[in-house]
Amino acid sequence: MFQSGEEGHDGAQHMIDEGLLEAAGRTPDHAYGLHVWASRYPAGFIGTRPGAMMASSDTVAITIKGRGGHGSAPHETLDPIPVAAEIITQAQVLVTREFNAFDPVVISCGQVHSGHAANVINDDAFLEFTLRAFSPKNRENLILRLKALAEDIARAHRMEAEVHITRLYPVTMNNAQEYEFAKNTVETIFPGRWQLQETPMAAAEDFSKVLERIPGVFIGVSAVEAGGDHTSLPFNHSGEAQFSDQTVPDCAAILASLAYQRLTTTNTGTNPETTT
């Protein structure tokens, strides 16, 4: 895949819709992807983890419908701002009291808008949340529970919550057998560089949509220069992020080796039609 629109434009889904996974005449048997990291992982790091490697991502936009008026007479209004504040704080209670700490979820409210003057109570308030989860079950539960929470809090204050859900990316889920295959293959070309990614990353990735359909693995590669401090360098998406040029040939070697090793193994096995 030479994919555009990876960040926020659902490039993988567009390619799938255009027939990517049928381009070889049938669905491939294996899928491998790479992502480089500008920091957090030391120079030379190549690795991932079996199971959930990156989180799902969805957006929930909530508009609280109240009734505006003058700030000196709030009793004559239905003020949406305290309701919005209660939804934001209770969303964090939802995270800690309804979800297992060992199958975590994340809710962050990144937008809050209401009103234009100190002495005017606005008719409505707008909130927008990003939701992250590490299992398909919790992804669905989190969306449903935040929606219900917002609607019920608004109703308790005689208001209405309009909830709009944008489903973005599923959990990036690595196949356990493919993890072992990738680990063993990378160790043959870059001995000592493979490391287990100890915890999932709460960022999301649209290659997850390929891994929903094909067993495979998504691998991280450090782009930190030798001698660089991976704990303090700017991370991906920063305007100051830097990436080692050596990462390019390393990544090419990883992908080529995975394909070659998988096809070689297949050609000596029982399924000569395997595609990667």
Whole-number pLDDT of residue 1: 74
For residue 181, count CB atoms less than 10 angstroms from its CB and return exposed for 0-12, middle for 13-18, buried for 19 or more. buried
Residues (pLDDT < 50) of the chain are: 270, 272
19: left (phi over 0), alpha (psi -120 to 50) or beta: left
Q: Give the Cβ contact number of residue 45 at 10 Å.
A: 18
The domains located in the chain, with CATH, are 11-54+171-244 (3.40.630.10), 56-169 (3.30.70.360)
Whole-number pLDDT of residue 175: 97
First to last CA, the chain: 11
Q: Which one, of 218, 246, 256, 276, lies nearest residue 34 by Cα?
A: 218
Whole-number pLDDT of residue 55: 97
**Percent of residues, the chain, with pLDDT higher than 70:** 95
**Helix residue ranges per DSSP H, the chain:** 11-17, 80-98, 136-156, 176-189, 208-211, 247-267
